[in-house]
């Protein structure tokens, strides 16, 4: 059984979710030959609380195999992909993930709620990604307990440095807040901490680093130097799993889809 993702974000200071990412549509190849296991091991050595794994194969060059390899290191692993049906949740579960990403902009609200509940039933935590106030409201209506604020505008691709603090203020007490996009160094982590972040998600900067363990360590130290106190957010209750997540589990036998559920994000850079 993997460590619950949400619980890993509730330690002292700001937790670091480090990402395994080979490519993106806007940047092209970032690290096409990246070894997911070696990269994740370096992140763990640097003190990362969890590891996010891109599993989308065409534009990000990820795979479920990467997810399984990272989860085998016994670190809380997040499946980062365009999750649009229940089957993908059970794929993540079988690969050993501790959590899945759901992007509010990619789903209508009934489907968002359905997939959120399905993931919880599968014993997974859910990182619900938002970009604006209306998406924050949707996340809260479906009961999200971990919310990621992506500061990148999906229409212009520009980063909004004030997005996190603006949307963080709209979250209920007890919701874990994750700052996504635009975190490049210790100063950014310190800024996010001052704005109420419980965690930061960092990808390209760490993948490009000559020494990813040291790069993570710098971010972790910046997050702990704010006040040394445990994060104010209260993570979701740990979910007991009756069996090992890598073994077969009871799940829908046919690949179920959620009709009329998917809104194509205005850019594939949403991940």
Residues serving a catalytic function are 19, 21, 80, 129, 150, 180-181
Pair of tokens at residue 212: 């990813």
125: which residues sit within 8 A by CB, 6+ positions away? 4, 5, 6, 98, 99, 119, 145, 146, 236, 239
Length of the chain (residues): 271
Answer for the pair 187, 195: CB distance below 8 angstroms, yes or no.
no
Give rounded-to-5 percent helix, strand, coil for the chain: 35, 20, 45
Answer for the pair 20, 32: CB distance below 8 angstroms, yes or no.
no
């Amino acid at each position: 059984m993997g460590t619950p993702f949400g619980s890993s974000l509730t330690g002292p200071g700001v937790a670091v979710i480090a990402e395994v990412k080979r490519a993106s549509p806007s940047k092209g190849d970032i690290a096409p030959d990246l070894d997911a296991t070696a990269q994740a091991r370096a992140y763990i050595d640097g003190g990362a609380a969890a590891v996010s794994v891109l599993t989308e194969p065409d534009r990000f060059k990820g795979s479920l195999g990467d997810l399984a390899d990272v989860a085998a290191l016994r670190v809380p692993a997040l499946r980062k992909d365009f999750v649009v049906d229940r089957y993908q949740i059970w794929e993540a579960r079988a690969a050993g993930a501790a959590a899945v990403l759901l992007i509010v902009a990619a789903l209508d609200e009934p489907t968002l709620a359905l997939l959120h509940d399905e993931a919880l039933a599968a014993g997974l935590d859910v990182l619900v990604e938002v970009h604006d106030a209306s998406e924050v409201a949707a996340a809260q209506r479906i009961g999200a307990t971990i919310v990621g604020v992506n500061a990148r505008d999906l229409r212009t691709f520009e980063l909004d440095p004030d997005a996190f603090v603006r949307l963080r203020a709209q979250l209920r007490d007890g919701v874990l807040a994750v700052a996504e996009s635009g975190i490049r160094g210790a100063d950014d982590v310190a800024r996010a901490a001052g704005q109420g972040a419980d965690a930061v998600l960092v990808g390209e900067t760490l993948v490009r680093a000559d020494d990813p363990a040291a790069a993570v360590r710098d971010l972790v130290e910046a997050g702990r130097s704010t006040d040394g106190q445990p994060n104010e957010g209260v993570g979701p209750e740990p979910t007991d799993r009756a069996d090992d997540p890598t073994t077969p589990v009871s799940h829908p036998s046919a690949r179920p889809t959620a009709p009329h559920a998917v809104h194509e994000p205005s850019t594939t850079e949403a991940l």
